[in-house]
């Protein structure tokens, strides 16, 4: 597909998760397909991005497109390129927008094509933080991988296959002990490689997991042969003939590597709109939106990872880099453009999930205040509540059933008061509400 000098009543910039769910809602709510254009620099139409760090990395039975185009993540229709064209939606892939003139309502592509709009939805998402951003020497060596797009995942898998051709012992260092590092680690260890996670925190997913919860996952990973190096940093990469061979750590350790995978977070893609819309300065950054996901520029909305809004639950202006928020904001703005002002303001209950090996957890709310653990880790089903001023503000559950996950969600949604015997009641407390 190639860009043309065209004019659309609505343009969605960014072909990520939010765009797929926007298009789905647009059609569901009676929007005219030919009024809508989606512009993306990716090579493929919108897909369920979380698959990339999960089933996409499996050595056998891996997820591949077209299997995970949106909106299969919620059991919806698989929106392949034909779905968009059959609805008359113009989906421009491999089309990078290089400048945005919001006053004149025009976007300009890399090749100079002007695309004008009446309404614009900014869904430019986030990009990975690169080792270059930390000025890590050797960041540009061959063999350093990131994971945001299908092409990144393909390159990583090819890198492993190439390394395996040279010998059975393939050493991979993953930089980062967050959920990307954990999920990628779980996927790659199945390839029979030697895997080491290096991260500066004192435990895995330190911002979310308590020492007790993290302890379970750390033991589990170590049991699968994954080495964890905590409280340390990759400060340099060294190589031979332009190819990475060694990860040098702050502690002075030197790890032999064939591949390095970096999972150190993401930054919102806001640069095109600097000076044209109000931005949230400093980390986490993002484009400020109001309760209807409208930016400070008339007729311009922002959705998904790039949008900074105030969920009622936290009252803090922040971004939510979570797939559920991308899906919901996409659908919300489609309705808002089609029938302005007829729905309640957007709200989002912070929610996150992850799947690693045969583990699967969900988390709702905030991990703030005092944690109360429940369940027996050896049984595989356990979790924690977080209590602040007598209210349960966060709930985490490993291996919950659909009903149990819905129950912990309800605890947070209803701002349940914590009973004095919460620990003894455990999951039964959630089920009793
Ligand atoms: C590997 C991975 C695993 C994840 N796993 C989970 C998970 O388990 N659970 C969870 O809740 N969340 C997860 N997430 C986060 C989730 O995928 C994101 O929250 C979601 O993808 C955000 O959707 P979006 O549409 O806002 O942005 P994105 O999906 O990032 O899409 C933005 C799109 O816009 C394009 N774009 C940007 N600028 C331009 C431009 N100038 N011109 C043209 N196109 C442009 C980008 O290339 C991209 O295609 C994961 C993310 C990653 C990367």
Residue-level pLDDT at 4: 58
Which of 42, 110, 124 has the most ligand 1 atoms within 8 A of CB, as the residue to mutate? 124
CB-count burial class (<10 Å; 0-12, 13-18, 19+) for 326 = buried
Which of 65, 180, 276, 305 has the most ligand 1 atoms within 8 A of CB, as the residue to mutate? 305
Q: Which residues, in sequence order, are bridge partners of residue 47?
A: 69
Q: What is the mean pLDDT of the chain?
A: 96
- CA dist., res. 62 & res. 40, Å (int): 25
Residue-level pLDDT at 138: 98
Q: Which atom of ligand 1 is nearest to the CA of 351?
A: 11
Q: Is the pLDDT of residue 134 over 50?
A: yes
- CA dist., res. 143 & res. 164, Å (int): 13
CATH 3.50.50.60 residue window(s) in the chain: 6-127+267-338, 131-264
Q: Measure Cα distances from 311 to 109, 317, 321 in Å.
A: 34, 7, 13
- CA dist., res. 262 & res. 180, Å (int): 9
Measured from CB, residues less than 6 Å from any atom of ligand 1 are 14-19, 39-42, 49-50, 52-53, 96-97, 123-126, 147-148, 180, 269, 272, 304-306, 321-324, 326, 352-354
Which of 50, 96, 106 has the most ligand 1 atoms within 8 A of CB, as the residue to mutate? 50
Q: Which atom of ligand 1 is nearest to the CA of 325?
A: 19
- Closest CA to ligand 1's atom 31: 16
- Closest CA to ligand 1's atom 4: 50
Which of 17, 23, 110 has the most ligand 1 atoms within 8 A of CB, as the residue to mutate? 17
Average pLDDT over residues 217-245: 98
**Could you report the per-residue pLDDT of 149-184, keeping only the tens digit for each?**
999 999 999 999 999 999 889 999 999 999 999 999
What lies within 8 Å, CB to CB, of 193 at 6+ separation is 160, 163, 170, 171, 172
**Could you report the per-residue pLDDT of 276-320, keeping only the tens digit for each?**
999 999 889 999 999 999 999 999 999 999 999 999 999 999 999
**Could you report the per-residue pLDDT of 380-430, keeping only the tens digit for each?**
999 999 999 999 999 999 999 999 999 999 999 999 999 999 999 999 999
Report the separation in Å between the CA atom of 125 and the middle of ligand 1, taken as the mean of its atom positions.
Answer: 5
Q: CB of 381 within 8 A of CB of 359?
A: no
Helix%, strand%, coil% for the chain, nearest 5: 30, 30, 40
- Closest CA to ligand 1's atom 5: 50
Mark out the alpha helices in 224-348 (DSSP H runs): 323-338
Angle (CA) 181 185 186, round 5°: 125
**Orientation of helix 211-223 relative to helix 179-189, angle to 10°:** 20
Q: Position of tokens 């895995």?
A: 204
Report the separation in Å between the CA atom of 365 and the middle of ligand 1, taken as the mean of its atom positions.
Answer: 22
Report the separation in Å between the CA atom of 18 and the middle of ligand 1, taken as the mean of its atom positions.
Answer: 8
Burial per residue of 31-59, b for 16 or more beta-carbon CB atoms within 10 angstroms, e otherwise: bebebbbbbbbbebbbbbbbbbbbbbbee
Three-class SS string for the chain? CCCCCEEEEEEEECCCHHHHHHHHHHHHCCCCHHHEEEECCCCCCCECHHHHHCHHHCCCCCCCCCCCECCHHHCCCCCCHHHHHHCCCEEECCCCEEEEECCCCEEEECCCCEEEEEEEEECCCEEECCHHHHCCCCCCCECEECCCCHHHHHHHHHHHHHHHHCCCCCEEEEECCCHHHHHHHHHHHCCCCEEEEECCCCCCCCCCCCHHHHHHHHHHHHHCCCEEECCCCEEEEEEECCEEEEEEECCCCEEECCEEEECCCEEECCHHHECCECECCCCCCCEECCCCCECCCCCEEECHHHEEECCCCCCCCEECCCHHHHHHHHHHHHHHHHCCCCCCCCCCCCEEEEEECCEEEEEEECCCCEEEEEEEHHHCEEEEEEEECCEEEEEEEECCCHHHHHHHHHHHHCCCECCCCHHHHCHHHHHHC
- CA dist., res. 293 & res. 345, Å (int): 8
1 falls in which pLDDT band (50, 70, 90)? very low
Q: Which atom of ligand 1 is nearest to the CA of 320?
A: 19
Report the separation in Å between the CA atom of 199 and the middle of ligand 1, taken as the mean of its atom positions.
Answer: 23
Report the separation in Å between the CA atom of 49 and the middle of ligand 1, taken as the mean of its atom positions.
Answer: 6
Which of 1, 16, 185 has the most ligand 1 atoms within 8 A of CB, as the residue to mutate? 16
What is the domain class of 131-264 according to CATH? Answer: alpha beta
Percent of the chain with pLDDT over 90: 97
CB-count burial class (<10 Å; 0-12, 13-18, 19+) for 21 = buried
Report the separation in Å between the CA atom of 148 and the middle of ligand 1, taken as the mean of its atom positions.
Answer: 7
Report the separation in Å between the CA atom of 10 and the middle of ligand 1, taken as the mean of its atom positions.
Answer: 21
Q: Is the pLDDT of residue 2 over 60?
A: no
Does 3.20.20.80 match the CATH number of domain 358-432? no
Report the separation in Å between the CA atom of 44 and the middle of ligand 1, taken as the mean of its atom positions.
Answer: 13
Residue-level pLDDT at 282: 84
**Could you report the per-residue pLDDT of 98-130, keeping only the tens digit for each?**
999 999 999 999 999 999 999 999 999 999 999
Report the separation in Å between the CA atom of 114 and the middle of ligand 1, taken as the mean of its atom positions.
Answer: 25
3 falls in which pLDDT band (50, 70, 90)? very low
**What DSSP state is assigned to residue 273?**
G
- Which CATH code fits 6-127+267-338? 3.50.50.60
- Closest CA to ligand 1's atom 50: 50
Q: Which atom of ligand 1 is nearest to the CA of 307?
A: 26
- CA dist., res. 40 & res. 46, Å (int): 9
CATH 3.30.390.30 residue window(s) in the chain: 358-432
**Could you report the per-residue pLDDT of 61-91, keeping only the tens digit for each?**
999 999 999 999 999 999 999 999 999 999 9
Q: Which residue has the higher pLDDT, 333 or 283?
A: 333
**Could you report the per-residue pLDDT of 211-229, keeping only the tens digit for each?**
999 999 999 999 999 999 9
- Closest CA to ligand 1's atom 2: 50
Average pLDDT over residues 138-151: 98
Q: Which atom of ligand 1 is nearest to the CA of 330?
A: 25
Residue-level pLDDT at 290: 98
Residue-level pLDDT at 6: 86
- CA dist., res. 179 & res. 53, Å (int): 9
- CA dist., res. 106 & res. 118, Å (int): 9
Q: Which atom of ligand 1 is nearest to the CA of 46?
A: 49
- CA dist., res. 345 & res. 100, Å (int): 27
């Amino acid at each position: 597909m190639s860009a043309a000098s065209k004019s659309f009543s609505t343009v969605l910039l960014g072909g990520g998760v939010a765009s797929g769910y926007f298009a789905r809602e647009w059609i569901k709510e009676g929007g005219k397909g030919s009024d809508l254009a989606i512009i993306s620099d990716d090579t493929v139409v919108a897909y369920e991005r979380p698959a990339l760090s999960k089933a996409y990395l499996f050595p056998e039975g891996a997820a591949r497109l077209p299997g995970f185009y949106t909106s299969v993540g919620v059991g919806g229709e698989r929106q392949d390129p034909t779905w968009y064209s059959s609805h008359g939606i113009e989906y421009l892939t491999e089309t990078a927008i290089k400048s945005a003139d919001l006053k004149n309502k025009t976007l300009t592509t890399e090749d100079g094509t002007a695309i004008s709009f009446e309404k614009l939805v900014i869904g430019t998402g986030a990009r990975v933080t690169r080792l270059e951003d930390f000025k890590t020497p050797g960041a540009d060596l061959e063999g350093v991988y990131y994971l945001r797009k299908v092409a990144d995942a393909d390159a990583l898998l090819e890198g492993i296959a190439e390394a395996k051709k040279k010998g059975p012992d393939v050493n991979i260092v993953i930089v980062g002990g967050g959920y990307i590092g954990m999920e990628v680690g779980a996927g790659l260890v199945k390839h029979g490689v030697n895997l080491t996670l290096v991260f500066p925190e004192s435990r895995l997913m330190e911002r979310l997991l308590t020492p007790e919860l993290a302890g379970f996952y750390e033991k589990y990973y170590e049991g699968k042969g994954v080495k964890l190096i905590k409280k340390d940093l990759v400060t340099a990469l060294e190589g031979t003939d332009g190819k990475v061979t060694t990860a040098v750590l702050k502690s002075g350790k030197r790890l032999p590597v064939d591949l390095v995978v970096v999972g150190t977070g993401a930054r919102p893609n806001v640069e095109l709109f600097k000076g044209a819309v109000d931005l949230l300065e400093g980390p986490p950054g993002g484009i400020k939106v109001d309760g209807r996901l409208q930016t400070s520029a008339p007729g311009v909305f922002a959705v998904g990872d790039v949008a900074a809004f105030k969920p009622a639950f936290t009252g803090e202006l922040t971004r939510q880099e979570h797939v559920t928020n991308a899906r919901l904001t996409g659908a919300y703005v489609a309705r808002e453009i089609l029938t302005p002002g007829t729905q309640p303001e957007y709200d989002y209950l912070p929610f996150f999930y992850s799947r690693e090996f045969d583990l699967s957890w969900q988390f709702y709310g905030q991990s703030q205040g005092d944690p109360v653990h429940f369940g027996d880790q050896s049984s595989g089903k356990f979790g924690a509540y977080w209590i602040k001023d007598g209210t349960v503000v966060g709930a985490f559950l490993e291996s919950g059933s659909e009903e149990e996950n819905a129950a912990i969600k309800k605890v947070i949604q209803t701002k349940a008061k914590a009973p004095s015997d919460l620990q003894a009641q455990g999951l039964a407390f959630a089920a009793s509400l």
